[in-house]
Chain A
Amino acid sequence: MTNNKLKLTAQIFRSLYRIRRIEEKITQVYPMDKIKSPVHLSIGQEAVSVGVCEALEPQDVVFGTYRGHAMYLAKGGDLKSMIAELYGKVTGCAKGKGGSMHLIDKDHGVMGTSAIVGTTLPVSVGYALGLRYRESDAIVASFFGDGAVDEGAFHEGINFAALKKVPIIFICENNEYAIHSHHLRRRLADNMCERVRSYGIHARRIDNADVFKIYRFVKKYSMLIRSGQIGPVFIECMTARWREHVGPNEDFDFGYRTRGDIEHCVKNDQVQRLRCLLPGPVADRIIGEVETEIEEAFQFAEDSPFPDGVELFNDLFREA
């Protein structure tokens, strides 16, 4: 491996491993009822957020969904603030008012995560319109699930994005399910990219959530978008959610899917794949650092206070 390649691999591994372990830690803590907030985990899907965000620049911004831990962390969102937010503490990124489904870290370009499917899509298009208007060199990465593609707001949003050639990359994390509903129970054909192309948007599907393929795609097209050579692009990342829709457990015993259905993704687990690509000592060092960081973040959340009552009425409006 060349030095550059090694550096990149190590960087991507760190992000993947860190997100995996943070969410695994959440599953361990969850039964203790310290996190009184629904959690929608990305375990198994980390490569999408990591592949995209590693290819972005710090000034770029992301919009996402309630399944947003991975995106928030991959973009550089503060870990301590995230865990404290899950614990409902005043040191959380939304002072405990938002919880797991509403993460925010503007300093790192995380523009919020919404619990209403499809809502951030047009909003992210509007943000991209604003960036272009101000001649910013930042671009937008807009994350959503396969369920969002059912919504009118998706089609209205991407149509306008294409029309105005705004600087945005759409990322569909296709884990094939909206809650328990398989995507082919909600649409006639598995042709999402084809439909998106009909709006005049370049679209590509990436199988098995290959983190390098996602990274390279975003690297290449973000440059073209940033320099104004092309308008929006779309990637459909095929992936799988390893846990239940919401909550810390697995859900292979309810009849809607089997463990076998996600086997190809488990075999292609990008966390393990990158770990094996790295020299042992490099991987071990990263693992050690990440574990310490996670322990500290959970301790921080434990030690932080809950917000005062006055916080309930604060920030309803932005004061002049």
Chain B
Amino acid sequence: MHRVLSYPDAIREALDQEMSRDDSVLVMGQGVDDHKRILGTTRGLLEKFGPQRVFDTPLAEDGMTGVAIGAAMAGLRPIHSHIRMDFVLLAMNQLVNMAAKMSHMYSGALCVPMVVRSLIGKSWGQGAQHSQSIYPMLMNVPGLKIVAPTTPYDAKGALIQAIRDNNPVLMIEHRLLYYQRGYVPEESYTIPFGKGRVLAEGTDVTLVGVSHMAIECLRAHRYLREVGIRAEVIDPVSLNPLDMDCIFKSATKTGKLIVVDNAWTPCGAGAEIIARIAENRMLSAIECRRMGFAFVPCPTTPTLEALFYPSAHKIATEAYAMLRPGSPAWEPTTRLDVEEVEFKGPF
């Protein structure tokens, strides 16, 4: 029997187990101890570990990031959570100028073992300021690790790895992934950073999807299968470090690559991955495409929001056009059974 957990429960279990294992682990941030408990991910922690280890903060993102950094320098392992990634923008100064610099700037004299959790919002009119996904900006910063797990299994393993890591780690949790359920072992485990995961095997085209876009790629994989196209779906899991070998291997096999960012495309994960392919002479024959958010702020109205985001439908349509350039255009008919993706695992 493989135990199935939801994505938020997997995160909750990771926090609980690490806090039990190591009393230097703290959970801080707006709302971590209110009745909603960051959508259940901090449920029970206050009761079990007390208010010294689980505490609410004032609305002061940059200052509180500084506090987390200082606490980390003093040997604690704070986990600072943001209910929207948009609020991490207020903490950029401490995150980029301080946390990411400490180890290297002082030649290893200091380190900052902290985790920044951030949720990406989507749909129901989240709009321009509650839907942003700023990992591309942060992929551009040396000294910060970035993970964006898609499956409940990886959410638990990545968070435990992030807590034990001696460096600042940004953990990205997409709001819509909170509905995912999948195999999660009861015992504590880590997943290594810098190892991508093949979520579905195929031979015709490689689809790389970041965070929730990995789900859209899996759906696209199913639509494409109906027209005889075998798409391989890769979830990079961590964005810094990035597992290029996994992507190289798949793209070499298929000869075609679409990277779907859960963000704007310019200077994003797609841009980075495709640049690295372009820099490699051996891979020059691979045909590449980027997909991502429309390059405008996210609108609230559903009709425009649908145009703003990449979807399984758009990814499948794009892949089909790439693979069958001469043939008449095709697009899938949206089907609920296809759209439902649950991770059965185990991996």
* Interface residues in B116-141 (C-beta closer than 8 Å to A): 124-130
CB distance from A275 to the nearest CB of B (A): 33
A313–B294 CB distance below 8 A: yes
- Tell whether, in the assembled complex, residue B129 and residue A114 are in contact, meaning their CB atoms are under 8 Å apart: yes
The contact of B59 among A36, A117, A254, A255, by CB within 8 Å, is A117
A76 CB → nearest B CB, Å = 23
- Is the pair A36, B129 in contact by a Cβ cutoff of 8 Å? no
- Indicate if A320 sits at the interface (CB-CB under 8 A): no
Which residues of A from 34 to 61 have beta carbons under 8 Å from B?
A: 36-38
Assess whether B283 is interfacial by the CB under 8 Å rule. no
- Is chain A's interface secondary structure helix, strand, loop, or mixed overall? loop
- CB pair B59–A151 under 8 Å, yes or no, is yes
Assess whether A259 is interfacial by the CB under 8 Å rule: no
> Which of B1-9, B164-172, B203-211, B299-307 is found at the contact surface with chain A?
B299-307
Do B127 and A307 touch across chains, with their CB atoms under 8 A apart? no
User: Do B35 and A96 have beta carbons less than 8 Å apart?
Assistant: no
Contact call B58/A150, Cβ cutoff below 8 A: yes
Q: Is A217 an interface residue (CB 8 A)?
A: no
* Chain A window 96-117, contacts with chain B (Cβ cutoff 8 Å), 1 for yes, 0 for no: 1111111000000000001111
Q: What mask results when residues 32 to 64 of chain B are scored 1 for a CB within 8 Å of chain A, else 0?
A: 001110000000000000000000111110110
Contact of A312 among B34, B86, B304 (CB under 8 A): B304
Q: Is there contact, CB below 8 Å, between A88 and B301?
A: yes
A89 to B127 Cα, complex, angstroms: 14
Contacts of A101 in B (CB 8 A): 125, 127, 129-130, 300
B109 at the interface (CB under 8 A from A): no
Q: Let me know if A147 is at the binding interface, CB within 8 A.
A: yes
Alpha-carbon distance between A96 and B307 when the two chains are bound, in angstroms:
14
- Report which of A37, A102, A118 forms a contact with B128, defined as CB distance below 8 A: A102
Q: Please, how many angstroms separate the alpha-carbon atoms of A96 and B127 in the complex?
A: 10
Contact of A116 among B34, B62, B129 (CB under 8 A): B129
Contacts of B299 in A (CB 8 A): 96-97, 311-312
A148 within 8 Å of B (CB atoms):
yes
Q: Is B151 an interface residue (CB 8 A)?
A: no
B: contact size bracket: 35 or more
A256 at the interface (CB under 8 A from B): yes
B 302-339 to A, binary, CB cutoff 8 A, 1 in contact else 0: 11100110000000000000000000000000000000
Asked if A181 is an interface residue, CB under 8 A from chain B, the answer is yes
Taking the closest CB of chain A, its distance from the CB of B218, in whole angstroms, is 26
- Is A306 part of the binding interface, using a Cβ–Cβ cutoff of 8 Å? yes
A170-209: CB near B (< 8 Å → 1, else 0) gives 0000000011110001110000000000000000000000
Inter-chain contact B296/A115, CB cutoff 8 Å: no
Our pick among A97, A186, A254 for the contact of B301 (Cβ within 8 Å) is: A97
Contact with A along B54-83 (1 / 0, CB 8 A): 001111101100000000000000000000
Q: Quick check: A152 and B63 within 8 Å, CB to CB? A: yes
CA A151 – CA B57 in complex, angstroms? 11
Q: Does A32 contact B (CB under 8 A)?
A: no
For B128, the closest partner residue in chain A by CB is A102
Q: Are B30 and A181 in contact (CB under 8 A)?
A: yes
Q: Does A309 contact B (CB under 8 A)?
A: yes
Does any Cβ of B come within 8 Å of A1's Cβ?
no
Q: Are B304 and A37 in contact (CB under 8 A)?
A: no
Given the interface pairs A88-B303, A151-B59, A312-B299, the reply to whether A98 lies near B127 with Cβ below 8 Å is yes
Given that A181-B31, A309-B307 are known contacts, is A98 also in contact with B300, CB under 8 Å in the complex?
yes
Q: Which of these, A116, A255, A307, contacts B304 with CB under 8 Å?
A: A307
Assuming the contacts A97-B299, A306-B301, A312-B299, asked whether A118 and B307 have C-beta atoms less than 8 A apart, the reply is no
B87 on the interface (CB 8 Å rule)?
yes
Q: Which listed residue (A99, A186, A312, A313) contacts B125, Cβ 8 A?
A: A99
Determine the chain B residues whose CB is within 8 A of the CB of A89 once the complex forms.
Answer: 301
Additional A-B contacts beyond A88-B125, A97-B299, A100-B125 (5; CB < 8 A): A96-B303, A114-B129, A116-B129, A150-B59, A152-B60
Interface residues of B (CB under 8 A from A): 30-31, 34-36, 56-60, 62-63, 86-87, 89-90, 124-130, 294-297, 299-304, 307-308
The contact sample of 16 A-B pairs, CB cut-off 8 A, is A37-B124, A96-B300, A98-B127, A98-B128, A98-B300, A101-B125, A102-B129, A178-B30, A181-B56, A186-B57, A307-B303, A309-B307, A311-B299, A311-B304, A312-B304, A316-B297
Q: Top 8 A-B pairs ranked by shortest CB distance? A: A88-B301, A37-B125, A99-B300, A96-B301, A150-B58, A180-B34, A150-B59, A97-B299
